[in-house]
Amino acid sequence: MSKSNIFRLLMWAVMVFGGTAVSIYFDLKYFRDIFFNLPFHIVSFATGFVILQGVLRIAKNTGRYLARNGREGNIKRLQTNKLVTDGFYGCMRHPMHFGLIFFPEALAFIIGSPFFILIVAPAEIIFMLIMIKFLEEKEAVKKFGQAYTDYKEKVPFFSLKKECLKKLLKK
């Protein structure tokens, strides 16, 4: 496993567990009434569950597509060696990440943490976007060269076009 992947996994762990712990601490300090409100937790959990379903569906759809189309030859599992620019990747450069950036918010709602929902999850989303922009994109240019640079000029980072979102969320 590369240093870059180890770093990513550590960051996910810090965001999930650290974000949860910090949020519960501040909820007990500043949002105690909401944090112990059962109707809030019921609505919050349902909201988080719906968001999580979308995140998982997008990850499944894009992951399978990338596994089928981004590999040539005998390479390690979860690795790609071919630039994919069609399908989901014709709509936006980072369709899997588009789904995954909503994971912190889904977790925040499932936990029912107002501090996580309002402060920590948005901060984690911004951090993830920065990581994608400055780490993932840099690695993709290094890996695929001019082909990725050309792709960057034609295809947006993310897209909110209805037809693109429908593709991502298709069952």
Domains assigned to the chain: 3-169 (1.20.120)
- pLDDT > 90? residue 113: yes
Rounded CA-CA distance 18/16 in Å is 6
pLDDT single digits (tens) 146-166: 999 999 999 999 999 999 999
pTM of the model: 0.91
pLDDT-derived band at 75, boundaries 50, 70, 90: confident
**For the residues 61-79, what does the mean pLDDT come to?**
88
**For the residues 56-67, what does the mean pLDDT come to?**
95
Least confident of 74-78, 118-122, 152-156: 74-78
- pLDDT > 80? residue 169: yes
- pLDDT > 80? residue 2: no
- Please list, in sequence order, all residues whose beta carbon lies within 8 angstroms of the beta carbon of residue 93, skipping any fewer than 6 positions away: 137, 151, 152, 155, 156, 157, 158
Mean pLDDT over the full length of the chain: 95
Cα separations in angstroms, 8 against 4, 84, 93 = 6, 22, 19
**For the residues 62-74, what does the mean pLDDT come to?**
91
Token output for 53: 């379903």
pLDDT value for 89: 96
pLDDT single digits (tens) 28-60: 999 999 999 999 999 999 999 999 999 999 999
pLDDT single digits (tens) 123-147: 999 999 999 999 999 999 999 999 9
pLDDT value for 59: 96
Rounded CA-CA distance 51/55 in Å is 6
